[in-house]
Amino acid sequence: MDEENRKAILNKIDKIEQYAKANTWLFDDLRKRFGNEHNSKIDEIYEYCIERVIKEQATQFYKYFPITELKKQLVEDYCRMERFRRKDDFEDFCLAAFQQVECITNWFCLRPKFIDLYNDKKNENSSIVDKEKNPIPIGSLIIQSEYEKRKETPLIKLFFNERIRAVLYFVYFGEKTIKYAFDSKYSEMNELYQCRNLNHRGGDRSDYQENIVSEILPHQYQYYLKFTGLLVDYIEHISRFMSKKEELGVVSSVLPSAVYFKPENSDIFMIDCSKKIWYKVKGFKQGDQVLIERNVVTNELINIKLI
């Protein structure tokens, strides 16, 4: 077969693949038409097409993720996660989803700047207060047991559930949160962590771990979606934290339904009542000094706040 004919056939296969994405009945009809003896080949083509779609989804999902050296591994784990979802293998799905969270969390806990941040601030009070309204020290917020005994333990050698608490506090929440929000997000991460342990670690589970797992397993089909949403949320917050650029500016003009801003190093722009951020800026006054936050990759406006 000459090169021209080969290319023509491959182009047709690509068109079939694109059509099959939106018309899932195609492979069923092919099986009926060509009979059982051809089903294995049709299934191979089908699986190949699905794998290509998943790979593309994973690549797009992490396209703008700022930690570039992790992208290859994260894309591979995402593909494994989706493959296990299709097989209805909940335990391996949880493992693959968790490995993406773990990969990112450990990356932070190995960075000298993040380690210095933790060491410099662990003896300071956090933004979170206890039931008596007393601020909780950052170190004891992160290290949940035997803090005085373990407070000098290097960050990367803390238990995973403590490392994730450090990243949640400093990166996900940017050191600004309340106890309910922090505990709620950590609880979701801990649910994924415990489900990951279903096939990743032997031995008996504690009553605490058993209670978490026993609540999840009867509802695992909902948790496919919940854990996927948890991963998406984590990636978005990490990306926002690392992709943010800041610029000082001033409110140059105020109208009843629009506010104009002049950044130090760029052109005047307007926020009007049609924008989501309008509720934050509608009370600003001419001459107010502001901090303008944008996404480094997309240049999308993230926030404007008074200084």
Structural contact between residues 163 and 154, judged by C-beta atoms closer than 8 angstroms: no
Predicted pLDDT of residue 182: 96
255 vs 133: CA distance, rounded Å: 41
Spell out the alpha helix ranges (H) of 111-260. Answer: 112-121, 138-142, 147-150, 160-167, 179-200, 207-216, 220-242
Structural contact between residues 166 and 109, judged by C-beta atoms closer than 8 angstroms: yes
Structural contact between residues 300 and 294, judged by C-beta atoms closer than 8 angstroms: yes
Question: Which regions in the chain score pLDDT beneath 50?
Answer: none
Please give the single-letter amino acid code of residue 163.
R
Predicted pLDDT of residue 72: 95
CATH of domain 244-306: 2.40.50.140
Q: Among candidates 226, 142, 140, 237, which has minimal Cα distance to 188? A: 226
Structural contact between residues 294 and 244, judged by C-beta atoms closer than 8 angstroms: yes
Q: Give the angle subtended at the CA of 90 by the CAs of 191 and 238, to the nearest 5°.
A: 50
Indicate the pairing of strand 244-255 with strand 289-295.
Answer: antiparallel
The domain ranges of the chain are 3-101, 111-241, 244-306
DSSP 33-60: HH-GGGHHHHHHHHHHHHHHHHHHHHHH
The secondary structure element, H or E, covering residue 79 is helix 71-86
Helix axes 207-216, 179-200, angle to 10 degrees: 90
Predicted pLDDT of residue 211: 85
66 vs 233: CA distance, rounded Å: 15
Predicted pLDDT of residue 202: 55
Which residues does 87 contact at the CB level (< 8 Å), separation at least 6? none
Helix%, strand%, coil% for the chain, nearest 5: 65, 15, 25
Predicted pLDDT of residue 289: 96
Tokens of 139: 């170190």
Predicted pLDDT of residue 209: 77
